[in-house]
Structure 1
């Protein structure tokens, strides 16, 4: 006869699932320390702690930052670990689950969320964004969509705070006395969280002024032809039959070109619009147009992590539309659920709206 889990047992079970995955990553081969800071301000912590911090944020989000709920789950996980003492690996899994719950509770305390509901909401929103970035942040559209969602959530929380404060008497906010002194979490754990937890609302790593200059010159594009001169001549003389699929691997571009337009090596007959800071790749998107059908396609916009959430994708797509006016713009494939908001935003008012559409008979996808 199966016994239904109590809410606390269900929370502990969910934490155990995260703990099992966490232990797998902790034990994978790799560097002994991982950078949980930034490239400009690195902060290295032991590999195991880095993964625990990441999975603790998942636990925090799943438990909606509920401090009491996290502590109750931690106690249940530790009790289960004690019950499984004769099975060392299972005991380790449940013990790690208790660690994740305790660490998540420490994060909530560090943000003041155990006595301030608005602080709890901000922490949950920030951690939700951070866990999305850890899992899918390499996908530019997902990163931009998640960042926009975070901004909107924080704005909504702040507006609620402003509304709640109206009509209240002036004076210091009242908090339970001696919160930190009565906290069930040791001070050293709180300090460890404050020192090692991932930055939740960091600016993009690249210099903001440099990014602004890069977006400002997005219409100044260095262009490289699809074919070498003789190949292009034969292509045209043959009525566009010979060397149709040929792509030159030589480019004649200035070394300091900020924006380039080159043949795509991912898709035959397509091109790539890309952006660079001196010596640093920042952004790229594949595109193709068919003037006969009045259609254009873009695929896989990608922004390097340090340039994400800076508007490079948006300005690149806008300039592409101005370079090829009068077209209806689409993508080839479906969009990730997390990217729908991004495509909806950049497609607002754009003919075609970057909706999914198969290629016409005049182009190849490669």
Structure 2
């Protein structure tokens, strides 16, 4: 019988999942430095540090900015890296990067004063949640606007609460270069966007009814696909064509994932307005499927759209056991429990098989 993980072990495991993704991006070909600032005020840092900072924000959000919890996860990851080192150097490296992510996340909390002020902790969590949403789905304008508005509203609620900061002690030096002001900057200068009303029920019903009518875009153009197959699926494995054309006004699309090489994105649009998207990957050899980061636009939420989309995906790829990679927000647990009922695999957390990539 498999022993259930303790809360600290679960935090460490989720950090390890993020670490594996982080290392994939760190090792991808590309520029030596990345801009983590803005176009107007660029700030270039080494590529590896940029990705670590991004994934550390995910760890911070998952641990709710709890400084003690982050440090405990770091210690657990460090112990696991030591245990893995003799027999599996690669796994040890993954766990070592997980240590880095937990430590950096703790430093972010310290730098904002969140280790001694609950309001500061909540502001850090809200800001990092917005940043991770922007990194994953910021290319979709409506997602960016909705996330920014949610951040502004959440910060307003936090700031309206009675202050609890006792003030810094003489020996309480910040250990992170990231300050509270830096983390609130994403909300600065944004328009006060009014929350959109719920979508018309008829439009939702129409979108749900045609969920099995999907406009599909190939992973590679014809020439690259030919080379890919002739090379035994070795060359152009991570290549994604950006030149596909889909029918205008297609309500459902299936395209190469923008965020995860080798993955795909199933998305829905209602009269050209973005409604829903989810990344997915399947491995027929192992009989497994994964879905990650389902997102429903605010006006389409609680309409069954995500449940329908996942059901159609299962129909498109029958006979698979379906899972997620894990590392989701705690508030998403009821959603996964609901959509996973009576589904083979139950969308339980499962590491990727050797045939697929997560980054």
Task: Tell me the TM-score normalized by structure 2.
Answer: 0.53
**Aligned-partner Cα distance in 1 for 2:124–2:28:** 29
Counterpart position of 1:57: 57
Cα distance change of structure 1 residues 198 and 54 upon mapping to structure 2, 3 Å threshold:
farther
**Aligned-partner Cα distance in 1 for 2:152–2:136:** 19
**Aligned-partner Cα distance in 2 for 1:95–1:143:** 33
Cα distance change of structure 1 residues 333 and 112 upon mapping to structure 2, 3 Å threshold:
closer
Counterpart position of 1:341: 298
Give the alignment's Cα RMSD to 1 decimal: 3.2
Asked if 2 retains the 8 angstrom alpha-carbon contact of 1:53 and 1:198, the reply is: no
> Which of the residues 325, 331, 340 maps onto 2:271?
331
- Structure 1, 2-11 or 115-124: larger mean CA deviation: 2-11
Cα distance change of structure 1 residues 143 and 89 upon mapping to structure 2, 3 Å threshold:
same
**Aligned-partner Cα distance in 2 for 1:64–1:339:** 22
Q: Secondary structure at the match of 1:335?
A: strand
Asked if 1 retains the 8 angstrom alpha-carbon contact of 2:151 and 2:187, the reply is: no
Counterpart position of 1:45: 45
Asked if 1 retains the 8 angstrom alpha-carbon contact of 2:127 and 2:184, the reply is: no
Cα distance change of structure 1 residues 200 and 100 upon mapping to structure 2, 3 Å threshold:
farther
Counterpart position of 1:113: 114
Within 5 Å, give how 1:225-244 maps onto structure 2.
none
Larger radius of gyration: 1
Counterpart position of 2:172: 180
2:105 is equivalent to residue 104 of structure 1: yes
Counterpart position of 1:34: 34
**Aligned-partner Cα distance in 1 for 2:139–2:59:** 22
Q: Secondary structure at the match of 1:201?
A: helix
Cα distance change of structure 1 residues 121 and 72 upon mapping to structure 2, 3 Å threshold:
same
> Which of the residues 154, 163, 186 maps onto 1:201?
186
Q: Secondary structure at the match of 1:68?
A: helix
Asked if 1 retains the 8 angstrom alpha-carbon contact of 2:142 and 2:274, the reply is: no
Question: Which consecutive residues of structure 1, in runs of 5 or more, have no partner in the other structure?
Answer: 166-172, 209-264, 271-285, 287-296, 298-329, 345-366
Cα distance change of structure 1 residues 204 and 152 upon mapping to structure 2, 3 Å threshold:
closer
Cα distance change of structure 1 residues 203 and 118 upon mapping to structure 2, 3 Å threshold:
closer
Cα drift, residue 342 of structure 1: 6.2
Counterpart position of 2:151: 150
**Aligned-partner Cα distance in 2 for 1:58–1:80:** 20
Cα drift, residue 335 of structure 1: 0.8
Asked if 1 retains the 8 angstrom alpha-carbon contact of 2:65 and 2:124, the reply is: yes
Within 5 Å, give how 1:300-311 maps onto structure 2.
none
**Aligned-partner Cα distance in 1 for 2:118–2:143:** 28
Cα drift, residue 46 of structure 1: 0.4
Asked if 2 retains the 8 angstrom alpha-carbon contact of 1:129 and 1:146, the reply is: yes
Within 5 Å, give how 1:168-317 maps onto structure 2.
174-175=166-167, 177-178=169-170, 180=172, 187=175, 190-191=176-177, 193=178, 200-201=185-186, 203=188
Cα distance change of structure 1 residues 29 and 343 upon mapping to structure 2, 3 Å threshold:
same
**Aligned-partner Cα distance in 2 for 1:82–1:338:** 37
Asked if 1 retains the 8 angstrom alpha-carbon contact of 2:148 and 2:187, the reply is: no
Deviations 1:89-131 (A, max 9, x none): 1111000000000000000001000000000000000000000
Cα distance change of structure 1 residues 11 and 102 upon mapping to structure 2, 3 Å threshold:
same
| Deviation >6 Å, runs of 4+ | none
**Aligned-partner Cα distance in 2 for 1:9–1:178:** 34
2:8 is equivalent to residue 23 of structure 1: no
**Aligned-partner Cα distance in 1 for 2:147–2:98:** 27
